[in-house]
Structure 1
Amino acid sequence: MGLPMPGDSLGDALAHAATLLLEASSVDDTLDAIVRSAAASVPGADHVGVTLAHADGRMEALAATSDLARELAAVQESIGEGPCTFDPDTAGIVHVPDLWHDERWPAFAEVAAQRGIRSKIGVRLYGDSASQAGLSIYSARPNGLDEESVQIADVFAAQAALAMGKARVIDELHDGLRTRQRIGIALGILMHRYSMSEERAFAFLTRASSHGNVKLRDVAAGVVADFVAGLEQPGGG
């Protein structure tokens, strides 16, 4: 299903966006769907990004509709202030109708205005004591993002947060399956190469993991990589 169109009603636009988010099958796909759908759904939106702010001041632009949205995340990290900087006590929504007349983040406001950004909405998607993810919506026009934009962004962000939760669970399940497959392959290699039982092969992996303080999946990956490297050598097999 395509993106919501500017002529759609609010209900239609949000329904389109919700369907697009639910169709995303991974975290990366979901993040891409979030920024593209928000840009099409929120009135006045010119640039959209999803940013992860860490307690140590690092900022990650996880997805964005433009290079400018990514640049604004980097600006906030470099100057240490802005609507997306980490503050676990900040309200869930930050609305800046006109950056030229907002005194909360003067350094960021000056840089953003120089880059043609005048209005901003920030909505928290999720957060904890170590990091928080936020949806950043920018407009090139003063008051380009009004109260209606805020309300729609809030509803949209709730949909996006649910979709991100679903995508994270799917990714974790896929990681778990890949880990089990890798361990199974490593067990088979050890059993074949050293004529040992599955129990002894697994004990070998767990001892290597414990003694080397390495995760079991990484030990298994090393066994597989060594086996593949041996096959690639002349006379390997």
Structure 2
Amino acid sequence: MEPDTQMARLFAEMARELAAQEALDKTLEQTVRLAAATVPGCEYAGVSILGPGKRLDTPACTASVVIDCDRIQYELGEGPCVQAAREEVIVVQVDDLVSDPRWPRFAARAGDLGIGSVLSCQLSTSRGTLGSLNLYAAGTKAFDAASREVAVIYAAHAGIALASIRLESALRSAISSRQTIGEAMGVLMERHRISARQSFEMLSQASQNLNIKLRDIAGRVAHTGVDPGRLTRDDL
């Protein structure tokens, strides 16, 4: 079998495995596990995810040293994973971390953890950047051109899979919230003989007064039957 055909089949299989996951945490765990097993030279893998205000977090990794390295970069605001996640950079490669002049503060601290090489690839879709896939190795020059090529293609597949499961989770949450709000409105409409609009306004007013999400107010009303105006923050 030709090398290109083998590679195509490998990525197809990885894409199927990622798509088969039904929860975000499982998809993240599978993402780092497959990365560590697939990218030549990789010993440890992790995922950095962008949050509000471009805050970064590491929700999945294959070893604790990944969390340590990532945390240093987050604290300093510099390093390959920060650059790949926050800037328009597809891939950042570090062949000898200790001697690399780009991030001297990070290099000094990460070198003490026994990390010599880093390969960070941006996780993105057409809708924007999700974060970065970060690959680490103890030795220097652990990643070659083949490693880089495989990592970039794999990160593209992983980005699509993560975006898809995020969207699916958001849709499920929205449907669940809508059902809960509908149940609470039904309780209020029957009890007070009011319209759907009036019942929704009661829930909305309680949400604003308590500064608590509408679905949480509705969930409490639907579960206990209590009027939303009588709820306190301690009830939720």
Shared topology, TM-score over 0.5?
yes
Query: What's the counterpart of residue 187 of structure 2?
Result: 189
Please tell me whether the aligned partners of residues 98 and 119 of structure 1 are also in contact (alpha carbons under 8 angstroms).
yes
Question: Structure 1: how far apart are the matches of 2:217 and 2:201?
Answer: 12
Query: What's the counterpart of residue 81 of structure 2?
Result: 84
Query: What's the counterpart of residue 155 of structure 2?
Result: 157
The amino acid that maps onto 1:26 is: A
What are the superposed Cα offsets for residues 148-174 of structure 1, whole Å, 9 maximum, x if unpaired?
A: 101000000110111112111101110
Q: TM-score, normalised by structure 1?
A: 0.80
Identity %, equivalent residues: 34
Decide which of 42, 45, 48 is 1:48's aligned counterpart: 45
Change (3 A) 1:182 1:49: same
Question: Structure 1: how far apart are the matches of 2:146 and 2:205?
Answer: 60
- Higher deviation after alignment, 192-201 or 96-105: 192-201
Gaps of 5+ in 2: 1-5, 227-236
- The offset of 1:207, in angstroms, is 4.2
Change (3 A) 1:10 1:111: farther
Change (3 A) 1:55 1:106: farther
Gaps of 5+ in 1: 1-8, 229-237
Please tell me whether the aligned partners of residues 52 and 131 of structure 1 are also in contact (alpha carbons under 8 angstroms).
no
Please tell me whether the aligned partners of residues 53 and 84 of structure 1 are also in contact (alpha carbons under 8 angstroms).
no
- The offset of 1:218, in angstroms, is 3.4
- The offset of 1:85, in angstroms, is 2.1
Secondary structure of the 1:85 match is: helix
Decide which of 217, 220, 223 is 2:218's aligned counterpart: 220
Decide which of 122, 139, 142 is 1:141's aligned counterpart: 139
Change (3 A) 1:125 1:131: closer
Query: What's the counterpart of residue 4 of structure 1?
Result: none
Secondary structure of the 2:168 match is: helix
Change (3 A) 1:191 1:119: same
Query: What's the counterpart of residue 27 of structure 2?
Result: 30
- The offset of 1:60, in angstroms, is 0.7
The amino acid that maps onto 1:94 is: V
Change (3 A) 1:40 1:216: same
Question: Structure 2: how far apart are the matches of 1:55 and 1:199?
Answer: 33
Question: Structure 1: how far apart are the matches of 2:133 and 2:61?
Answer: 10
What are the superposed Cα offsets for residues 9-31 of structure 1, whole Å, 9 maximum, x if unpaired?
A: 53343222111111122322221
Q: CA RMSD in A?
A: 2.9
Question: Structure 2: how far apart are the matches of 1:127 and 1:62?
Answer: 19
Secondary structure of the 1:124 match is: strand
Query: What's the counterpart of residue 114 of structure 1?
Result: 112
Secondary structure of the 1:30 match is: helix
What are the superposed Cα offsets for residues 49-99 of structure 1, whole Å, 9 maximum, x if unpaired?
A: 111356867431121111111111111122332112257444211011121
Question: Structure 2: how far apart are the matches of 1:188 and 1:199?
Answer: 11
Secondary structure of the 1:142 match is: coil
Please tell me whether the aligned partners of residues 124 and 133 of structure 1 are also in contact (alpha carbons under 8 angstroms).
yes
Question: Structure 1: how far apart are the matches of 2:18 and 2:40?
Answer: 19
Please tell me whether the aligned partners of residues 130 and 159 of structure 2 are also in contact (alpha carbons under 8 angstroms).
no
Query: What's the counterpart of residue 176 of structure 1?
Result: 174
Query: What's the counterpart of residue 167 of structure 1?
Result: 165
